[in-house]
Structure 1
């Protein structure tokens, strides 16, 4: 009879242990379910963000294809494709923004692949305006002539051109197929002034373009400029789609190429890079 309290105490302790173990088990199960729910929600958000990004890319492809059919003679900033860009807007579950850029609004480094004197001279002026050392410009032109056409900057870096120097040139230059000419209907005033070697003429042309929407060889001739080496249409574009869904941020950069022929126009994605 003296041991009864001890036995009751042991029984109570065992009950408490069982209850504690059961509680821990329930907590683990609940935590596991919460993690699985969070994981499922994130996967859903990732999928939804990807769908929005693809939709943005597809809208650019569709607009550029239509433009190539109905307005084949010009590509300018007053056309629907150029107005496609969206400032951030609310979409179900998050936000969406799209920008579209004409890559032929910049100087094509691969235009120097055949050692064209005019292209090399323009590149030197661009480099000087960008603050890049002459020896670096010579190195870049040499790499393009020897190993070009280039598709990216890796060979330039391997030849000793720094990332900082490439960044200085980036607002003015791009890497496209050698035949891709600078489009005077999308180029900015700073680069056009370097092309023409005449800031006043560039300003006049930009004002005319802003007023009418586009330029023709006649406008260039009117300021005493030649259209040799310049173009009025484009077939190479870049889109950047930025999407936020839940806590998922996704940025997709796509390079688009348009081809024309045999009564049809095709726009294909030739490069795509995703990031956050």
Structure 2
């Protein structure tokens, strides 16, 4: 028989169960608090990494602006990929806690589809010739022109897929056509060989000019005269629009940005070099130069 005032065995068992349950609940709350604290610390770390990476990305854009502004002040009437502005590109450059990449390229090495908004016959004819080269059906050409004239100016070519352009055709189109603000010419010093063949309507002459360009780094009117051809419609040897693409990897965070930079005249007729469009991360459009690999 139990002594007076002492709990029975069953009561002691229930008390033990309650105590263990409270201990388990308390342990769970402690673990939850620790987990939330760790998540908060991890989130804060990633936010700091992202902010630092974004600052480095913008710093890369600034270096491109400075290089292109200097080129506009010191270079002549020819823009090409062997000028100092093109040499600022880097691949996996080491920075504190990660790496940095920068790619820069001439944006006017392709036909600007926004040119068809002027209604000038030459722009429509050139787009049709490009379409013939890549196997784009006439009805898709008409649909693309109508879309750009009604919805444009467009900032990249991806919406054309919604206008009825087949994906495979759109992939080939993006290698010779781009979407830039304003009216731009095609810089023969940046055009791909396939587009050169369309522009000169002679693959052999285009191939010779590409070889000359590869040897000396650029083309001039004299090089065209040597091949007994004239400057094609809508073409030139210089550019006013350039791409810069930057990427910073810090810890487990990656930030990437593509910027369209334009050299132009201010309302006061002063030369200026300014960013006109930006795309971040997955929104980077086609036509942006690829990062180099080591």
Same fold (TM over 0.5): yes
Taking structure 1 as reference, are residues 222 and 177 closer, same or farther at Cα in structure 2, changes over 3 Å only? farther
Match of 1:213 among 211, 214, 217: 217
Equivalents in 1 of 2:25, 2:139: separation in Å? 74
Taking structure 1 as reference, are residues 111 and 222 closer, same or farther at Cα in structure 2, changes over 3 Å only? farther
- Counterpart for residue 292 of structure 2: none
Q: 2:52 aligned with 1:48, yes or no?
A: yes
Q: CA deviation at 1:125?
A: 2.3
Equivalents in 1 of 2:128, 2:148: separation in Å? 14
Bigger mean CA deviation after superposition, 79-88 or 162-171: 162-171
Taking structure 1 as reference, are residues 118 and 226 closer, same or farther at Cα in structure 2, changes over 3 Å only? farther
- Counterpart for residue 86 of structure 2: 82
Q: Normalization by structure 2: what TM-score?
A: 0.81
Equivalents in 1 of 2:100, 2:53: separation in Å? 9
Provide the secondary structure at the position in 2 that maps to 1:105: coil
Provide the secondary structure at the position in 1 that maps to 2:277: strand
Equivalents in 2 of 1:142, 1:65: separation in Å? 36
Q: CA deviation at 1:166?
A: 2.9
Equivalents in 2 of 1:196, 1:246: separation in Å? 49
- Counterpart for residue 286 of structure 2: none
- Counterpart for residue 32 of structure 1: 36
**Counterparts of 1:117-156 in structure 2 under 5 Å?**
117-144=121-148, 149-153=153-157, 156=160
Equivalents in 2 of 1:234, 1:242: separation in Å? 24
Q: 2:190 aligned with 1:182, yes or no?
A: no
Taking structure 1 as reference, are residues 32 and 115 closer, same or farther at Cα in structure 2, changes over 3 Å only? closer
Bigger mean CA deviation after superposition, 251-260 or 16-25: 16-25
Match of 1:256 among 245, 249, 261: 261
Q: CA deviation at 1:170?
A: 0.6
- Counterpart for residue 198 of structure 2: 194
When the two structures are aligned, how many residues end up with a matched partner? 276
Q: Normalization by structure 1: what TM-score?
A: 0.86
Q: 2:109 aligned with 1:105, yes or no?
A: yes
Report the aligned-residue RMSD: 2.8
**Counterparts of 1:2-17 in structure 2 under 5 Å?**
2-3=2-3, 4=6, 6=9, 16-17=20-21
Match of 1:94 among 98, 110, 114: 98
- Structure 1, unpaired ranges of 5+: none
